[in-house]
DNA sequence: TAGGATTTAGTTTTT
DNA sequence: CTAAATCCTA
């Protein structure tokens, strides 16, 4: 069998494996072939870390440790095969491939943890593309959903049911409000936001209510928080619910207290990979360490320069001290950037080099130098928005797509000036963050119905829906029911279901019973198992008369709500299609509770996208605008006098700058209205940290008189309605507005608010919209989406 | 209890 | 300035 010396065999195998992974660079390949023991990959922005993760997993599954191992079982046929492959590009035979492998790893022994569903989804997708069936068997998911999955299996050890509810931040807030009320704490002195934040930090550091109380000592404030913490946890338990932080800390507790469970998962996850390691908090660190166990086949990928969630408990220490925690750890730096131009990278490097607390790395690229960074000083935020809008329209006229553009700001409030301008100029846009899909009232209401159907002891959500739509059941009644429930040790739902048996509820009993009756109907329907989730959802909508309760369907806001409810319906349907036999109400609710709207961000739609710099992490765009580079905005006021916070802001600047592939615009305004008062801010210090020669500066000359007839919507309500109207054009091809586009034909004379008069040259259908090519009298030929253009016939 | 009037608090937030 | 939370009255 063996016909080569093992040394020569290893050489040959290495050559073949290197060729197998020849599409990645040397550093990346080193990370891919380092399969055993702890590994730290310091991956700069745009250095292809997902590629490394995917290839590393592929290598584990296909070849195991063949690159390092000297064991060899190659036949002469194999060797001939390999030579052929190396010299003549003949594909390797499957047999040779299998002979090459040295202790290959089964996909189910691999755990890959990310922070966002989007990142997990991307990873899964790329694994499936590369490895097919085997790729889908890798456990790739977020911290939170991995933990939820573990807890559903072993939650009984912690006295939780297997269908516990996951509370989101809104639920937590409501619950904490109740706790503080119960404790008689004045929210003006100690707001529930502050308390929740404090508790979240406690959970991040694995501090139990008891330990927290002991640490509180004499301090009154802390002692109060300790009591609130205790009560909050108790209520969660009664509701069979966990908040986001509990998912992690309870999993840690489960593994620490149950050696058999720990062993089970240590055996299961023989290889662990963690993405965005710089964002892990202490609890997540402990969790990873527990799972990695003594084998320590742990590979973490991160970038200390992109740590921007310290305020949420992420501890940069985890990455800075990885080598100390795991003395045998190998560190690999990925510094070649594949995303941005040299100019953009130089700017990013220059800014971040002002930070003291960092491991230090310098990004470089083979990409072209690219155009200079455009800096622009606007007069105020409207002028700033105006400038951005103009640049986008010009770019689109030159052949760019709207989706090439992203605007990244420090605060969500900065979006409104942009929004107004874009509505005016007919620029299609989407805002990520702010009001999320799953935070909308109507969606939360329906989710609450489904939650109660799934878990009747969820009092919080029961309270949410019991009078929604209005059933004339008020606080008074609910408080009475809640008290009775406490005395009996039964759930509130039980009490409501038996309302006529309790004297204090006699008056409202018919209403309570009616509510209980319809809920029972839903619960029976769910338990019978003979209906789909979509049918259940439709039944809930119908029996509760929810849609009718929203009000006049002619109202745009009501229409928006209804379309959101339809969207939820199709999400449910999609979930059922994806999960087939395994689909369950429980499963859907869990998936939904861990979902955010970055996850719904689809890059296919051709619109400009706006979001905070934080949300943009991990994304990239050809052209990026960074408005509000002013001291006081970015860096924010709170950060200016704290060196630590300033460094975090600088990392955020680094993240923001490195989102751009080709062109970067940085803007500041001489004055800006913020929370109702006008501020004059100096240009951001970060701007001064970028070398002069990388930038080209312009400034607004004078305040232009708005032309008559170009009246803007004045209130944000009007803006929203106008935006909604535009949005409807997309969703409803049958609507009257959608036919507007069809009214335009080549040769039509039109007038655009920004470009003036022109003639339609061509009409191309695109999705539900139409792309118009228009020759303007003064501005040349532009391409514009009909539904967004607000064109008038001239 | 519902709905309108008034007050008040507003970085960032992968889950 | 704006949106949500709370207050107040019918």
Catalytic site residue from A15, A18, A30, A50 = A50
Could you report the per-residue pLDDT of A541-586, keeping only the tens digit for each?
999 888 888 777 777 677 778 888 888 898 899 889 888 888 999 8
**Annotated binding residue A489:** no
Q: Do A309 and A281 touch, CB atoms closer than 8 A? A: no
- pLDDT in the model for residue A756: 66
Nucleotide showing the shortest C1' distance to residue A714 CA = C1
Give the separation between CA A670 and CA A380, rounded to whole angstroms. 6
Q: What is the mean pLDDT of residues A485-513?
A: 87
| CATH architecture of residue range(s) A344-427+605-697 | 3-Layer(aba) Sandwich (3.40)
Catalytic site residue from A13, A27, A49, A410 = A49
List the single protein residue with the shortest CA to C1' distance from B14: A116
Could you report the per-residue pLDDT of A310-360, keeping only the tens digit for each?
988 998 889 888 988 899 999 999 999 999 999 999 999 999 999 998 888
- pLDDT in the model for residue A597: 66
| CATH architecture of residue range(s) A23-64+103-161+243-333 | 3-Layer(aba) Sandwich (3.40)
A764 is catalytic: no
* Model confidence, pTM: 0.83
Distance spanning both ends of chain A, measured CA to CA: 84
List the single protein residue with the shortest CA to C1' distance from B11: A411
- pLDDT in the model for residue A340: 97
Q: Which nucleotides of C are covered by protein (CB under 7 A)?
A: 1-4, 6
Question: A282 — phi, psi (to 5°)?
Answer: -60, -45
- Identify which has the larger pLDDT, A357 or A436: A357
Print the SS3 string covering A645-677: HHHHHHHHHHHHHCCEEEEEEEEEECEEEECCE
Beta bridge partners of A785: A771
Catalytic site residue from A659, A661, A672, A782 = A659
For residue A128 the two structure tokens come to 């499936």
Are A23-64+103-161+243-333 and A436-598 the same fold in CATH?
no
Q: A297-306, A517-526, A732-741 — which is least confidently predicted?
A: A732-741
Rg of chain A (C-alpha set): 29
Give the separation between CA A415 and CA A667, rounded to whole angstroms. 14
Q: Which of A214-218, A270-274, A672-676 has the highest mean pLDDT?
A: A270-274
**Annotated binding residue A207:** no
CATH 1.10.10 applies to domain A164-238: yes
Q: Which nucleotides of B are covered by protein (CB under 7 A)?
A: 1-3, 9-15
A511 is catalytic: no
Q: Quick check: bond before A410 cis, omega within 30? A: no
| CATH architecture of residue range(s) A436-598 | Orthogonal Bundle (1.10)
For residue A375 the two structure tokens come to 């800096």
- pLDDT of A137 > 60? The answer is yes
A306 is catalytic: yes
What's A759's DSSP letter? E
- pLDDT of A727 > 50? The answer is no
The band of A725, judged by pLDDT with boundaries at 50, 70 and 90, is: very low
- pLDDT in the model for residue A711: 42
A659 is catalytic: yes
Q: What is the mean pLDDT of residues A206-221?
A: 89
Mean pLDDT (chain A) is 85
- Identify which has the larger pLDDT, A320 or A127: A127
- Answer whether any strand B atom is within 7 A of the Cβ of A36: no
Alpha helix positions (H), A637-749:
637-640, 643-657, 685-688, 716-731, 736-743
Q: Give the three-class secondary structure for A377.
A: strand
The band of A199, judged by pLDDT with boundaries at 50, 70 and 90, is: very high
Q: Give the three-class secondary structure for A491.
A: coil
Catalytic site residue from A204, A246, A275, A281 = A275
DSSP A248-278: HHHHHHHHHH-HHHHHHHHHH-SEEEESSGG
Angle at A598 between CA A593 and CA A600, to 5 degrees: 75
Strands A677-680 and A671-674: antiparallel
Give the separation between CA A82 and CA A683, rounded to whole angstroms. 61
- Identify which has the larger pLDDT, A747 or A328: A328
- Identify which has the larger pLDDT, A501 or A257: A257
% of chain A beyond a pLDDT of 70: 87
Q: What is the mean pLDDT of residues A776-793?
A: 61
Strands A139-142 and A110-114: parallel
Q: Do A463 and A239 touch, CB atoms closer than 8 A? A: no
- Answer whether any strand B atom is within 7 A of the Cβ of A193: yes
- pLDDT of A742 > 50? The answer is no
Could you report the per-residue pLDDT of A401-426, keeping only the tens digit for each?
999 999 999 999 999 999 889 988 88
Q: What is the mean pLDDT of residues A269-292?
A: 95
Could you report the per-residue pLDDT of A30-50, keeping only the tens digit for each?
999 999 999 999 999 999 999
- Domain edges within chain A: 23-64+103-161+243-333, 164-238, 344-427+605-697, 436-598, 746-791
Could you report the per-residue pLDDT of A476-493, keeping only the tens digit for each?
888 888 888 888 888 888
Please state which of the four CATH numbers 3.40.50, 1.50.10, 2.30.29, 2.40.10 is assigned to the domain occupying A746-791: 2.40.10
- Which of A256, A285, A281 lies closest to A204 in space, CA to CA? A281
Beta bridge partners of A222: none
Q: Stated in angstroms, how far is A600 CA from C4 C1'? A: 26
For residue A338 the two structure tokens come to 């594949």
Q: A17-21, A391-395, A787-791 — which is least confidently predicted?
A: A787-791
């Amino acid at each position: 069998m063996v016909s080569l010396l093992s040394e020569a065999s290893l050489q040959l195998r290495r050559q073949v494996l290197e060729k197998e992974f020849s599409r990645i660079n040397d550093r990346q390949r080193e990370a891919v072939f380092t399969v055993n023991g702890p590994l730290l990959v310091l991956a700069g922005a745009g250095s292809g870390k997902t590629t490394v993760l995917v290839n590393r997993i592929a290598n584990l599954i296909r070849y195991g440790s063949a690159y390092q191992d000297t064991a060899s079982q190659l036949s002469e046929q194999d060797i001939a095969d390999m030579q052929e492959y190396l010299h003549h590009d003949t594909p390797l035979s499957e047999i040779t491939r299998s002979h090459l492998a040295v202790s290959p790893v089964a996909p189910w022994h691999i755990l890959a943890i990310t922070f966002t569903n989007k990142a997990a989804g991307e990873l899964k997708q790329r694994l499936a593309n590369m490895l097919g069936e085997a790729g889908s068997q890798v456990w790739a998911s977020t911290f939170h959903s991995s933990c939820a999955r573990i807890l559903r299996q072993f939650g009984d050890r912690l006295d939780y049911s297997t269908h516990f509810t996951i509370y989101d931040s809104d639920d937590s807030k409501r619950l904490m409000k109740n706790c503080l009320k119960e404790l008689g704490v004045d929210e003006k002195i100690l707001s529930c936001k502050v308390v929740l934040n404090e508790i979240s930090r406690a959970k991040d550091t694995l501090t139990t209510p008891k330990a927290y109380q002991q640490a509180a000592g004499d301090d009154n404030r802390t002692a109060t928080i300790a009591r609130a913490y205790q009560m909050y946890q108790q209520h969660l338990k009664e509701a069979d619910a966990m908040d986001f932080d509990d998912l992690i800390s309870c999993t840690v507790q489960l593994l620490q207290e149950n050696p058999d469970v720990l062993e089970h998962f240590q055996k299961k996850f023989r290889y662990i990979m963690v993405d965005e390691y710089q964002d892990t908090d202490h609890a997540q660190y402990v969790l990873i360490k527990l799972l990695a166990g003594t084998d320590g086949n742990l590979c973490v990928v991160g970038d200390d320069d992109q740590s921007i969630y310290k305020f949420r408990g992420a501890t940069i220490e985890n990455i800075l001290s990885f080598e100390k925690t795991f003395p045998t750890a190998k560190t690999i730096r990925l510094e070649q950037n594949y995303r941005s131009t040299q100019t953009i990278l130089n700017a990013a490097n220059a800014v971040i080099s002002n930070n003291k607390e960092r491991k230090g790395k310098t990004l470089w690229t083979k990409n072209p130098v690219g155009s200079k960074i455009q800096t622009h000083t606007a007069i105020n935020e409207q002028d700033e928005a105006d400038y951005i809008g103009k640049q986008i329209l010009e770019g689109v006229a030159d052949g760019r797509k709207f989706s090439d553009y992203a605007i990244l700001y420090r605060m969500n409030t900065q979006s409104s000036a942009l929004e107004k301008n874009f509505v005016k100029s007919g620029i299609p846009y989407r805002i990520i963050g702010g009001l999320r899909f799953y935070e909308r009232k109507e969606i939360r209401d329906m989710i609450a119905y489904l939650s109660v159907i799934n878990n009747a002891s969820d009092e919080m959500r029961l309270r949410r829906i019991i009078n929604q739509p209005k059933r004339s059941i008020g606080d008074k009644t609910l408080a009475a029911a809640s008290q009775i429930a406490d005395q009996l040790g039964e759930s509130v739902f039980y009490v409501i279901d038996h309302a006529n048996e309790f004297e204090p509820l006699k008056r409202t009993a018919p209403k309570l019973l009616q509510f209980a009756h319809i809920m029972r109907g839903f619960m029976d329907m769910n338990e019978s198992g003979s209906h789909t989730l979509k049918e259940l959802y439709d039944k809930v909508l119908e029996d509760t008369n929810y849609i009718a309760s929203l009000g006049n369907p002619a109202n745009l806001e009501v229409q928006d709500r209804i379309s959101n409810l339809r969207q939820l319906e199709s999400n449910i349907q999609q979930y059922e299609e994806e999960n087939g036999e395994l689909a369950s109400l429980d499963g859907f609710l869990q998936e939904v509770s861990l979902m955010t709207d970055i996850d719904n961000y689809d890059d296919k739609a051709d619109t400009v996208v706006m979001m905070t710099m934080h949300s943009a992490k991990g994304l990239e765009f050809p052209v990026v605008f960074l408005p509000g580079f002013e001291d006081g905005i970015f860096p924010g006021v709170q950060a200016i006098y704290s060196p630590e916070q300033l460094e975090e802001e600088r990392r955020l600047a680094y993240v923001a700058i490195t989102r751009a592939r080709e062109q970067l615009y940085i803007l500041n305004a001489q004055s800006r209205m913020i929370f109702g008062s006008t501020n004059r801010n100096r240009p951001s210090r970060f701007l001064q940290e970028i070398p002069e020669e990388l930038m080209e500066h312009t400034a607004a000359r004078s305040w232009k008189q708005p032309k008559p007839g170009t009246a803007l919507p004045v209130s944000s309500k009007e803006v929203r309605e106008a935006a909604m109207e535009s949005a409807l054009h997309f969703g409803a091809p049958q609507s009257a507005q959608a036919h507007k586009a069809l009214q335009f034909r080549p040769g039509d004379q039109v007038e655009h608010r920004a470009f003036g008069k022109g003639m339609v040259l061509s009409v191309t259908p695109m999705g539900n919209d139409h792309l118009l090519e228009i020759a303007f009298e003064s501005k040349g030929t532009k391409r514009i989406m009909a539904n967004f253009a607000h064109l008038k016939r001239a």
